[in-house]
Amino acid sequence: MHELGVVFSVIKQVEKIGEENAVSNVDKVVLELGEVSTVIPEYLEDCWKWAVKRTQIMQQAELEIRIIDAVTFCENCEKEYPTVKHGRVCPYCGSEKTYLLKGNEFIIKEISAELRENTER
């Protein structure tokens, strides 16, 4: 399960951003997760619940996951189609000359946090 490593990476990045911006507490992290990113949302959520309890500023942080649909482009007929439903073979022309346009992303989209009071920057 590589989701735990992914969660640790997200936490590290959020903590770094928190330090740079005088954050006292992170309330919520929003991730955009591509449909074919190989990260399983349910596992990610389970790892998140366990890992954030071991942090300074994220102990109660909620995780919101937004799924980005996977879309493939066919170079032969120049049409787009849903990747998960049809795979690599274009449903319009049968070509395998295709590539993924979107759906493999893993993005920290938003961080909701409280700033420390009386902090000079």
pLDDT in tens, 20-40: 999 999 999 999 999 999 999
Quote the CA–CA distance of 70 and 114 in Å, as a whole number: 34
CATH class of 3-10+24-115: alpha beta
Q: Which helix (H) or strand (E) holds 50?
A: helix 41-52
User: What DSSP state is assigned to residue 55?
Assistant: S
Q: What is the sign, positive or negative, of the torsion defined by CA atoms of 27, 24, 113, 11?
A: negative
Query: Could you tell me if 104 and 37 are in contact, meaning their C-beta atoms sit under 8 angstroms apart?
Result: yes
Quote the CA–CA distance of 93 and 11 in Å, as a whole number: 44
pTM of structure: 0.86
pLDDT in tens, 59-98: 999 999 999 999 999 999 999 999 999 999 999 999 999 9
